[in-house]
Amino acid sequence: MNSPSPTRPWRTEFVLLAAIWGSSFMFMRLGAQEFGAIPTAGLRVAIAALFLGPLLLWRGLGPQLARHWKEVFFVGLFNSAIPFACFSFALLSISSGLSAILNATTPLFGAVVAWAWLKDRPHGLRILGLLIGFAGVALLAWDKASFKPGASGLATGWAVLAVLTACLCYGISASYTKRYLSGLPSLVTAAGSQFGATLGLALPTLWLWPQQMPSPTAWLALLAVGVLCTGVAYILYFRLIENVGPARSLSVTFAIPVFAVIYGVIFLGEVVSLWMLVCAVIIVCGTALSAGLVQLRR
């Protein structure tokens, strides 16, 4: 009996995951415009927790979450609550495509945090990649960031800083997970982190709940970003890690902006400039080098 080829399933899941996560920026933008930044983030993690919780219990992993709930909930704050709030705020004044391009810097911040905290010092091409990647961010921010209020009433500069703060939080979460949660089943971390994020955002979400009932479009957008872009995406992502390893799984970050830009242009009428595309290429190249995904052969 022939064993199935491992290449086709992971490639399909890779593309599917990039397409799903690419759509999250569009859905968050639609939700944030009516719910506001904090309620959008709070509902996203709450919906994801309701989706992943029964799956966690069905797999019999509840006791493991109970033993590690403090560490897992901490990850939820830095891997979901704060980043999702930052992205929701940013999407009120910048395009989904721009936010997705900036999100591609997550491995850069992850490398810097690992260097400072875990003493995982990059060498050679990885250091060059960090410099190239952050140069791309600087060029993009220089062109797009302004601290004067725009058409939305918010300054794009604060939005850019919010996205970069989210990426820094992702880097902190990754190093914390590696140090304190290694060996814990991925579903425990995924579901438990959403519980922690939900608790962290519960009071701010209720306090800032919109006075006017949001439209069905906004509700559907949050349902999609909670179930599809958070719950289902986490399952696909951790399956990808198990099948092909973390390094190859990390490269999904580079494909996300492609889908986000396409969705933004088609469904939201966003405009993509040539300068954005040039900076995106610089950021992706630098990130690939810093993550060790590109190496010179001798």
Residue type for position 258:
V
Predicted confidence at residue 47, as pLDDT, reads 97
pLDDT value at 298 more than 60: no
Residues 18, 21, 23, 25: is their CA dihedral positive or negative?
negative
Residue 297: pLDDT band with limits 50, 70, 90: low
The mean pLDDT value of the chain amounts to: 87
Q: What is the pLDDT of residues 189-229, one digit of tens each?
A: 899 999 999 999 999 999 999 999 999 999 999 999 999 99
For range 81-106, the mean pLDDT: 93
**Residue 268: both structure tokens together:** 């939201």
Q: Is the distance from CB of 163 to CB of 90 less than 8 angstroms?
A: yes
pLDDT value at 293 more than 70: no
Of 53-67, 90-104, 111-125, 197-211, which range is least confident?
111-125
**Residue 128: both structure tokens together:** 């060059």
Q: What is the pLDDT of residues 139-155, one digit of tens each?
A: 887 777 777 776 666 78
Distances (CA, A) of 205 to 76, 85, 92, 202, 255: 16, 10, 17, 5, 31
Predicted confidence at residue 149, as pLDDT, reads 74
Predicted confidence at residue 253, as pLDDT, reads 76
- What is the C-alpha separation between 58 and 78, in angstroms, rounded? 26
